[in-house]
Amino acid sequence: MKLKVFLDANIPYSSIDIFEKFNYDVQHARKIGMANDPDEDIIEYAIKHNQILLTKDIGLGNILNYPLKSHHGAVILRLPFYFTAKQINEVLSEFLKSVKEEEIKNSITIIELGRYRIRKG
């Protein structure tokens, strides 16, 4: 079964192609009309559809507000604000080459320049 990923509106639309290349079942918030929805609605949608959420919003990594057992996983990008979609997609591609699907399920993953860390529950 393919791992399901939900891209928040703050993730480039072109990132869909990166996840599809790695054979993930991917959906983007903008594609389904959730571009301006609040964080709570975004995470609820991801939970309801058994998806791992990919976002730039560090607030979604707060385990007090979003305990690890309450969702299917979150991947949070902490990259320079000036990064272009192309640069973000390069980072995502490198990340997906180096991580196993099982590692990011039911965890919080922080991706930074040149590294990532995973917090399991």
Range 71-93 average pLDDT = 95
The rounded distance, in Å, linking the Cα atoms of 25 and 81 is 27
What's the burial of 59, exposed, middle or buried (CB within 10 Å: 0-12/13-18/19+)?
exposed
Helix, strand counts (H, E) of the chain: 4, 6
Q: At 116, list the tokens.
A: 């990532």
- Counted domains in the chain: 1
Neighbours of 65 (CB within 10 A): 12
Residue with tokens 């983007």: 28
| pLDDT value for 64 | 65
| Domain with 78 in it | 4-120
> For the segment 33-74, what is each residue's pLDDT rounded down to a tens digit?
999 999 889 989 999 999 999 999 887 766 666 666 777 899
Over pLDDT 70: what percentage of the chain? 90
